[in-house]
Amino acid sequence: MPPTPLIASDAHLGHDGLVEVVGGREVACYESPARASAIREALLATGDFVLEPPTDHGPDPISAVHDLEVIDVVEHAWTDAVADGWDPERPLLPDTFLLRAYAAGMALEQLPPARHQRLGAYCFDTGTPIVAGTAAAARAAVDIGLTALDHVLAGAPLAYALCRPPGHHAGRTLIGGYCYFNNAAICAQSLVDRGSRRVAILDVDFHHGNGTQQVFWERGDVLYVSLHGDPAASYPSFSGFALERGEGAGEGATLNLPLPPGTDGAAYGATLREALDAIRAFDPDAPLILSLGFDTYHADPICNLALVTGDYAGIGAAVAGLGLGVVALQEGGYAVDALGANAVAFLGGLREGIADR
């Protein structure tokens, strides 16, 4: 089998020095540059991957998914803050969040003009800091995803997008969960815009992809299927329950498969079969968009499932069994020392599954 394109760039290195607030403490952000370096080095060392740069796809694919107001805030909050005297050594996190629950009576058209003062109107948590290099990194992650998609549309059975920052928590008008632009949703929308009528997104990151779900909630042309830690016990807490199934034209085109804490590879595999059956029944006419996280790993510092490295090869092979082209986009995974081995196992399993079919 020919080498698999690995799309990556160094733009993410500027998205660094990040802190988040967890459990009442400021900590170094788990979502670090070392994550991407570890995956990249491990994949290249196998000899089965060829490093390719992203190509510039411009702003239109981003604005096909995200509202201009949040794009504007991501692009300019940092420079507005620094112009206003913000210490450039400190990442920008909102102090105030605009919640619908207290919006009654507010003149929402009168948000503050400085983009950093408005950040909390477009952000849902304390884990999504902005620094000087954030906007460029987020744009590059989109281009990385779209370039991987280009490779698959040009005939590669699999392409791997080393996206950083990740994307699946970012909604139409909201950043959060380490995510700014929703790389997977942008790829799925790009397929629809090129004429696909049934696009499937499979999300195997530990966390529910609330952003991806929101973008396609009322859409029947994009199926969103997610396996994730039960939101009753895990971030993002307010979405990912099984009863969320989409609405209107999208009713039934969202499938949430929450997993209890401690779920191991065998139980995960059984639930994955349900997910893959739903994708087969949907009968996609486009490559699969795979939101790929390794935070289901037993030693992940912020998650609670119990997969081991060997499990990922089986999951990858099962995904290959769909018979679809696969655009794999990196989402989460925070056990940095294990990320390389887990990526090699997953993508190796995918490659073997593709070679066998």
Q: What amino acid positions are annotated as catalytic residues?
A: 169
Query: Contact at 8 Å (CB) between 227 and 303?
Result: no
From residue 275 to residue 314, what is the string marking binding to Zn ion with x (rule CB under 5 A)?
------------------x-x-------------------
In angstroms, what is the minimal distance from the CB of 27 to Zn ion?
A: 16
Which entry of Zn ion, ligand Q9C, none binds 22, CB below 5 to 8 A by partner kind?
Answer: ligand Q9C
Choice from 1, 21, 99, 242 touching ligand Q9C (CB under 6 A) = 21
Q: Of 200-229, which residues contact ligand Q9C (CB under 6 A)?
A: 205, 207
State both tokens at 67: 């509202």
CA–CA distance from 70 to each of 115, 203, 290 (Å)? 9, 24, 25
Nearer to Zn ion, 40 or 207 (CB): 207
Residue 127 interacting with ligand Q9C (CB under 6 A): yes
Which entry of ligand Q9C, Zn ion, none binds 127, CB below 5 to 8 A by partner kind?
Answer: ligand Q9C
CA–CA distance from 45 to each of 42, 145, 289 (Å)? 5, 22, 25
Choice from 14, 17, 22, 271 touching ligand Q9C (CB under 6 A) = 22
Choice from 75, 80, 125, 221 touching ligand Q9C (CB under 6 A) = 125
| Residue number of the CB atom closest to ligand Q9C | 332
Residue 230 interacting with Zn ion (CB under 5 A): no
Which entry of ligand Q9C, Zn ion, none binds 145, CB below 5 to 8 A by partner kind?
Answer: none
Block residue for tokens 């999951």? 315
- Residue 77's nearest CA partner among 106, 54, 111, 102 is 111
Which entry of ligand Q9C, Zn ion, none binds 235, CB below 5 to 8 A by partner kind?
Answer: ligand Q9C
Interface size with ligand Q9C, residues (CB under 6 A): 19
Residue 205 interacting with Zn ion (CB under 5 A): yes
Rg (CA), the chain: 19
C-alpha to C-alpha distance for 353 and 313, rounded to whole angstroms: 9
How many other C-beta atoms lie within 10 A of the C-beta of residue 239? 19
Nearer to ligand Q9C, 37 or 324 (CB): 37
Query: Contact at 8 Å (CB) between 252 and 222?
Result: no
Choice from 5, 229, 265, 332 touching Zn ion (CB under 5 A) = 332
C-alpha to C-alpha distance for 263 and 269, rounded to whole angstroms: 10
Roughly how many angstroms between the first and final C-alpha of the chain, as a whole number?
A: 12
Q: Of 163-202, which residues contact ligand Q9C (CB under 6 A)?
A: 166, 169, 177-179
Which entry of Zn ion, ligand Q9C, none binds 312, CB below 5 to 8 A by partner kind?
Answer: none
Query: Contact at 8 Å (CB) between 168 and 203?
Result: yes
State both tokens at 270: 């059984």
Residue 33 interacting with ligand Q9C (CB under 6 A): no
Nearer to Zn ion, 231 or 293 (CB): 293
Nearer to Zn ion, 129 or 332 (CB): 332
- Would you call the peptide bond into 301 cis, given omega within 30 degrees of 0 as the criterion? no
Exposed, middle or buried: residue 155 (CB in 10 Å: 0-12, 13-18, 19+)?
exposed
C-alpha to C-alpha distance for 271 and 273, rounded to whole angstroms: 5
C-alpha dihedral sign at 247, 249, 254, 255 = positive
Which entry of Zn ion, ligand Q9C, none binds 126, CB below 5 to 8 A by partner kind?
Answer: ligand Q9C
How many other C-beta atoms lie within 10 A of the C-beta of residue 293? 24
Nearer to ligand Q9C, 166 or 316 (CB): 166
Stretch that binds Zn ion, among 39-47, 205-213, 310-318, 336-344 (CB under 5 A): 205-213
Residue 145 interacting with ligand Q9C (CB under 6 A): no
- Residue 170's nearest CA partner among 140, 226, 211, 134 is 211
Paired with 226 in beta bridges are 203, 256
Residue 293 interacting with ligand Q9C (CB under 6 A): yes
Interface residues with ligand Q9C (CB under 6 A) are 20-22, 125-127, 166, 169, 177-179, 205, 207, 235, 293, 295, 302, 331-332
